Amino acid sequence: MSILIKKMTQAASILTLFAVLGAGLVAYSFQITQEQIKANQRAALLRNLNAVIPTNLYDNQLFNDSRQMQNEAFLGTPEPVMIYRARKGKQPVACVILPIAPNGYNGRIQLLVGINYDGKLLGVRVLSHQETPGLGDNIELRRSNWILKFNGLSLTNPKESGWAVKRDGGIFDQFTGATITPRAVVKAVHNTLIFYQHYRDEIFK
C-alpha cells in the first residue's frame, strides 16, 4: 500500500510540474503575442495617420501629441475619442480625429479623419468595420477609391445638402445594394467637421 501511495504521489507531482510549466509557457506566449499585436497595431495606425497627413507637413511626434475628447452627438460614441495633433515649428497645422459611425449596416464603423487647421479634409480612412464583404466593404481603400472622394472637402464645399449620398440629394455615390454603409460614413465625417469647427481651439489647447 505504501508503494502504491508513493507512486501516486510521484505521478501527482509530475502532473503538477507539467501543469505549472504549461501555464507558464502559455502566459509567456500570450505576453509575447500581445506585445507584438500592440506593435503591429501601432505601426498600422501610424501608416494610416501618415496617409492623411503627409510627414512633410509636420515635425512633431503624433503619438506624443494627442488628447481625448468626448462628444457623442458629433463623434458617434459616448466614449472618449482619440485626437492626434500635427504641428510644424510648434504651430498647429492639422489633426486626425478617430470618430465612430454608429449606424453602419452591421454596426459601428471606426474612422480616421484628417483635417487641416483651416477645416479642410486631408483624407479619411476606415480603421475597422463589420460591413458585408463585397457590398459595404467598398468603404475600404483596398476595395475601391470611394473614400478618396472626401479629400479636399469642407463644411462649405459642398454646401450642407451635398453631405449625403446621391439617393438623398448629395454628392456621394452609394453602393449597389448597400446604401446604409456609405450614408453612415458620410454623416460621421460631416459631423466630425462640425465638431472640429466648434472645438478647434480646445483641440489644439
> Is 174 found in the same domain as 106?
yes
Enumerate residues 6+ apart whose C-beta is below 8 A from 51: 123, 125
- Number of helices (H), then strands (E), in the chain: 3, 6
Q: What percent of the chain has pLDDT over 90?
A: 70
pLDDT on residue 16: 74
> Is 169 found in the same domain as 70?
yes
> Is 110 found in the same domain as 83?
yes
Enumerate residues 6+ apart whose C-beta is below 8 A from 118: 154
Q: Identify the CA nearest to 74 among candidates 182, 195, 181.
A: 195
Tally of domains in the chain: 2
> Is 76 found in the same domain as 164?
yes
pLDDT on residue 136: 84
Phi first, then psi: what are they for 202, rounded to 5°? -70, -35
CB distance 180 to 104 below 8 Å = yes
> Is 136 found in the same domain as 83?
yes
> Is 39 found in the same domain as 92?
no
pLDDT on residue 159: 95
> Is 124 found in the same domain as 64?
yes
Confidence of residue 70 (pLDDT cuts 50, 70, 90): very high
Confidence of residue 29 (pLDDT cuts 50, 70, 90): low
> Is 120 found in the same domain as 40?
no
Q: Are strands 121-128 and 66-69 parallel, antiparallel or unpaired?
A: unpaired
> Is 111 found in the same domain as 32?
no
What is the span of the domain harbouring residue 114?
56-203
pLDDT digits (tens, 9 = 90+) for 129-151: 988 888 788 999 999 999 999 99
Q: Give the SS3 label for residue 109.
A: strand
> Is 78 found in the same domain as 113?
yes
- Residue with cell string 508503494: 3
Is the omega angle on the peptide bond into residue 80 within 30 degrees of 0, that is, cis? no
Residue 77 burial (10 A CB sphere; 0-12, 13-18, 19+): middle
> Is 91 found in the same domain as 170?
yes
Residue type, 121: L
> Is 88 found in the same domain as 66?
yes
Element (H, E) at 33: helix 2-52
